[in-house]
Amino acid sequence: MSTDLITEHLDLWTSAVTYNNGKGRGNNGEPELTGIQKLRELILELAVRGKLVPQDPEDEPASKLLERIEEEKKRLYKEGKIKKPKKLPEVSEDEKPYEVPEGWVWARLVELFEIQDSYRIPLNKKERNKREGKYPYYGANGQIGTIDDYIFEGRRILIAEDGGFFSDPIRGVAYIAEGRFWVNNHAHVLRCIGSTNEKFWISYFNQFDWLPYVRGMTRYKLNQATMQKIPLPVPPLAEQKRIAEKVDELMALCDRLEQQTSAQISAHETLVDTLLDTLTRSQDAAELADNWARLAEHFDTLFTTEHSIDRLEQTIIQLAVMGRLVPQDPKDEPASKLLERTRLEKEQLVKEKKIKKPQKLSEVSEEEKYFVLPDKWVWARFGETGYTRLGKMLDKAKNQGLKKKYLRNTNVQWWSFDLEELKELMLEENELKEYSVNYGDLLICEGGEPGRCAVWRDEDSEMYIQKAIHRHRPLGGISPDYLKICLTVDFHSGRLSQLFTGTTIKHLPGDNLAKYVIPLPPIKQQCKIVEKVNEFMALCDRLKAHLNKAGETQVQLAEIIVNRAIDGEVPDSTESQYCSQF
């Protein structure tokens, strides 16, 4: 049976994990249990094709069930309980997407169910709030509240009319409502006739490809006239029950697999976090070396997920700004001398009227120093390292001059730029230099995700900024890449968020950015830190590339198993061996 492939390849289903990646460095990918999702789809697909449970030649054929349903509909019509059933043409051979087993038949949806949409009563949210009660109130995707009265009693299948998850077989568009309840006009209401099994049909409707039958561009809608004509594969009644029970059993297995896999991922993340924390808590170089050696022994088993590699990246840059990533050189010029040169350089620029006089910044207090610096390092405020300005305000009334491409905060990602969608603004001749982006500028998001930053490394392209971007130009030879590392560390630690303003939409004002406290090493140490961080980031990129390739292969293998099972084929010995080894 095709079901053997489900249990024979459990390792494959649980190991096929993919990640939802954000743009740029530092965005943790959320794991998706893709293999188990494929397994759920396979179970439903096998169920409705008659390949999940064996057929029983003793079962009454489905044609007899259809005859009883037709007789019952005639009786209900005579008693005035339903409208006269519509006579639709038989399902043609062209409409049958696949062959069904012996004893099954094809029929149209309206032949199997009484559609009770005419009884639905929609209520707006304001009216519903006034009438809260004990009865469930259902919409397209399930219960959305309660109400003080009911329209329906018993069991019904509800199928989304509009706003449903028509392209998502896991979330589905159909569910069972029972007891006493109310339904609005966003869900079709189907009553089973002739004891046909609701659970079987829920399985069918939730794996069914609805897209050829729905209308609408942004919000799909399934109208009743189209729904009535949909061809359905009808198993014998006894087999419907067996299929429904097997689906429940296998879906419960999927639930357990999901829980186990999620627990394993969580435990792995906790282990990685704990071991990496020992590195940042190391008191000296010797302890750090010991802790790193202990970690390195298990490198190939620890850094096997998106989360673990992201945490490795964050630990590396945390160690970098603490002065523990590269050795200190006692011959280096102290960073205090660097700050003095930077101050004099800034004063000269003010004198030459090239920049405005900056705000006076207070000395870094003892409370703001959150670890002990290495020799020759100093605590400094961000504003001391160079000069910063925001881009041009977008104002249609004032925008005149030449059309120029500019960067928005969506173009500035973590440590990189997304230049696929560049817009243009108007700049006058005297504004070009003021808002231009030069090679080596550090560009920092003021809003959106405040603090997200990247260093501009394009000498050829002409580019400008608008008001959502801070442009910081370091002085005295201070490395913009080192400052980028500091901002990234403190964004992830939460320290940078203490400078944000706003409740729902966060901003990083220029005055607050200037007050931001950073650990500043000597110039030569900055260069060594940036070089070493880049080496480690390249390693992490290779790890991620390998992880993504492995994940893609696992998903492809899962898809092979799914397709073979649906087609009734068994993978050959080479494929099965490869799946097991993988």
- Please state, in angstroms and rounded to a whole number, the distance separating the CA atoms of residues 194 and 197: 9
Give residue 40's pLDDT: 84
Q: How many CB atoms lie within 10 A of CB 573?
A: 8
Estimate to the nearest angstrom the gap between the alpha carbon of 182 and the chain centroid: 34
Residue 443 β-bridge partners? 454, 471
Nearest-5° angle of CA 575, CA 578, CA 582? 140
Pick the closest to residue 566 from 168, 49, 9, 167 (CA basis): 49
Q: Classify 348 as helix, strand or coil.
A: helix
Q: How far is CA 208 from CA 97, 205, 213, 267, in A?
A: 11, 5, 11, 36
- Please state, in angstroms and rounded to a whole number, the distance separating the CA atoms of residues 192 and 345: 83
- Please state, in angstroms and rounded to a whole number, the distance separating the CA atoms of residues 211 and 496: 46
The H-assigned helical ranges of 352-429 are: none
- Please state, in angstroms and rounded to a whole number, the distance separating the CA atoms of residues 23 and 415: 10
Amino acid making up residue 48: V
Pick the closest to residue 247 from 2, 51, 47, 55 (CA basis): 47
Q: How many CB atoms lie within 10 A of CB 373?
A: 15
Amino acid making up residue 272: V
Q: How far is CA 31 from CA 75, 259, 261, 307, 543, in A?
A: 54, 13, 11, 8, 16
Per-residue pLDDT of the chain (582 residues; tens, 9 = 90+): 455 656 666 666 676 676 665 555 555 556 677 778 888 888 888 888 898 899 999 999 999 999 999 999 889 889 888 888 778 899 999 999 999 999 999 999 999 999 999 999 999 889 999 999 999 999 999 999 999 999 999 999 999 999 898 887 678 899 999 999 999 999 999 999 888 899 999 989 988 999 999 998 778 999 999 999 999 999 999 999 999 999 999 999 889 988 888 888 888 888 888 888 888 887 766 777 888 888 888 887 888 888 888 999 999 999 999 998 888 999 999 999 999 999 999 999 999 999 999 889 999 999 999 999 999 999 999 999 999 999 998 877 767 889 999 999 999 999 999 999 999 999 999 899 999 999 999 999 999 999 999 999 999 999 999 999 999 999 999 999 999 999 999 999 999 999 999 988 999 999 999 999 999 999 999 999 999 999 999 999 988 888 777 767 766 776 776 676 666 654 444 444 444 443
At residue 301, φ and ψ (nearest 5 deg) are -100, -20
Pick the closest to residue 213 from 229, 232, 197, 196 (CA basis): 229
Q: What is the DSSP string of 35-86?
A: HHHHHHHHHHHHHHTT-SS---TTSPPHHHHHHHHHHHHHHHHHTTSSPPPP
Task: Give yes or no for a contact between 75 and 81, defined as CB atoms under 8 angstroms apart.
Answer: no
- Please state, in angstroms and rounded to a whole number, the distance separating the CA atoms of residues 386 and 382: 8
Residue 369 β-bridge partners? none
Task: Give yes or no for a contact between 484 and 456, defined as CB atoms under 8 angstroms apart.
Answer: no
> Which residues have a Cβ under 8 Å from the Cβ of 209 and sit 6 or more positions away?
none
Burial call 310-340: b when 16+ CB within 10 Å, e when fewer = bbbbbbbbbbbbbbbbbebeeebeebeebbe
Give residue 575's pLDDT: 44
Give residue 125's pLDDT: 87
Strand order in the sheet with 442-445: 386-390, 469-474, 442-445, 453-455
Give residue 579's pLDDT: 41
Give residue 565's pLDDT: 64
Give residue 27's pLDDT: 54
Nearest-5° angle of CA 232, CA 233, CA 235? 135
